[in-house]
């Protein structure tokens, strides 16, 4: 993908290895705690399963130990499992890919008619991190208001600044946007523009991982 930059922010090139930091991981983490950060998470693994609804429902139950309804999410075996009308997505940190894939294959068992796709090369995960992340998501059109974050499904598809994307709400302060790679630069620029009044900071891989540890849910292990 082409390089691009906005005034006051570093030059970014999506599609390669995410930078460890943009100068200071500690400073980036502090910016997230106080405000909002934007991180390239193109290193995440993304698996997709498509099948008839009854099979997806059974697979969701096997993966999470409980019924996984459309729009629902569960964290199990080191990965986020997200269900929508298109099937099921599994999203995980790069070092957990083998564990997550093994968990998925074990859950598939004797189920037939399921199709498994590796989508890591198709999608470009972008993370919004911090106390003001709901404000930024609202400004992009992903929420009616910041307060609505607890009233919507944790996984859904949305139009953000004209870009269709899957949206995973991991917590009130942490969310993943999953646009197609070719549309990610356009969405990145829109995020930068909408985030200027919120003092948006770019966040590298190290600070994003640290923030996730601070914000970790009890079920994440």
Along the chain (221 residues), what's the average pLDDT of each consecutive run of 10 residues? 57 69 88 92 91 86 87 90 87 88 84 85 95 96 94 94 95 95 94 94 91 70 37
Report d(CA 29, CA 173) in Å as an integer: 13
Given this model, what pLDDT does residue 76 score?
Answer: 85
Given this model, what pLDDT does residue 218 score?
Answer: 44
What angle separates helix 25-34 from helix 205-214, to the nearest 10 degrees? 50
pTM of the entire predicted model: 0.87
CATH of domain 25-42+122-214: 3.30.1360.120
Given this model, what pLDDT does residue 2 score?
Answer: 56
Could you tell me the CATH superfamily of domain 45-118?
Aminomethyltransferase beta-barrel domains (3.30.70.1400)
Spans of all domains in the chain: 25-42+122-214, 45-118
Do the domains 45-118 and 25-42+122-214 match in fold?
no
């Amino acid at each position: 993908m082409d390089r691009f930059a906005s005034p006051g922010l570093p030059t970014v090139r999506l599609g390669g290895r995410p930078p460890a930091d943009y100068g200071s991981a500690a400073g980036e983490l502090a910016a997230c705690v106080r405000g909002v950060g934007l991180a390239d998470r193109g290193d995440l693994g993304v698996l997709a399963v498509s099948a008839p609804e009854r099979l997806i429902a059974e697979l969701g139950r096997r993966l999470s130990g409980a019924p996984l309804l459309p729009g629902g999410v569960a964290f199990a075996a080191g990965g986020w499992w997200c269900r929508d009308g298109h099937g099921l997505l599994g999203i995980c940190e790069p070092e957990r890919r083998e564990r997550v894939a093994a968990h998925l294959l074990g859950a598939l068992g004797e189920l037939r008619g399921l199709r498994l796709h590796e989508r890591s090369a198709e999608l470009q995960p972008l993370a919004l991190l911090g106390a003001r992340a709901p404000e930024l998501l609202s400004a992009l059109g992903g929420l009616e208001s910041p307060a609505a974050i607890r009233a919507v499904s944790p996984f859904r598809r949305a139009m953000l600044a004209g870009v269709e994307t899957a949206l995973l709400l991991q917590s009130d302060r942490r969310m993943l946007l999953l646009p197609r790679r070719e549309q990610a630069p356009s969405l990145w620029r829109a995020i930068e523009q909408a985030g200027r009044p919120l003092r948006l900071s770019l966040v590298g891989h190290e600070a994003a991982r640290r923030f996730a540890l601070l914000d970790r849910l009890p079920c994440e292990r």
